[in-house]
Homo-oligomer: A and B are copies of this chain.
Amino acid sequence: MSDAHDAGFQVTGTVRPGGRTSRTREAVHHAVRELMAMHNGEPPEIPEVAARSGINAATIYRRWRTRDALVLDVAVADVNAASPVPATGDLRTDLLAYTRRLVETFARPGGLGFVNALTTASRDARIGTDRVRELVQPRLDRFQEMLDASGTTELSPLDLVLLILGPAHLGATLGLIEPDHDVAARLVDSVLDVAAGRRLRAAGGG
């Protein structure tokens, strides 16, 4: 009754992280990525992952417990592995680089799957809000750096998350985005319009 399972999911930081354990982890992660890419972002079932990775299903169940936790683990690993876009000091340039990559990621087969895993996890108390924050917070920090570098005070990192990730996510999810139209630029310009509007309002009065 007091084993690791009660405290949540170990997933990482195990007592014996190297060698075989590490290889198992990579094999499973790899299979998850492939399966999600070919199933349109749908979280794969554990037996499927087991078959493709060559890792016994019982092992996967013991280490990750549930599908959602497994997918989220892969998502966290991927995002943490991605190199951040640099903050040049020009907000439009920075946001554009970021947004383009985001849109491209969403458009990739199964690219939405990991965001969906995140949203699913955020409404599941068992997986934990902290694991969600683990993904969101670095994004907020990254945006703050961009804002600082360009000296923008009219926008908060939260604004950027909502106004860029929000539309990009919904548009990709519902298939509302035409590939020929440069959505990234349009989104970034919208955000800059918002900043300009607030700047004017602050200067005008109020």
Contact = CB atoms under 8 A, between A and B. Distances in A.
Interface of A: 40-42, 112, 116, 118-119, 122-125, 129, 132, 136, 158-159, 161-163, 165-171, 173-176, 187, 189-190, 192-194, 196-198
A122 B194 contact: no
Contact of A197 (B125, B136, B166, B189): B189
Contacts of A176: 136, 158, 161-162
Interface centre among A122, A123, A124, A189 (most CB of B within 10 A): A123
A189 B159 CA distance: 12
Number of copies: 2
A159 B194 CA distance: 14
B173 A170 contact: no
Contacts of A116: 119
Nearest to A187: B162
B189 A193 contact: no
B129 A123 contact: no
A171 B166 contact: yes
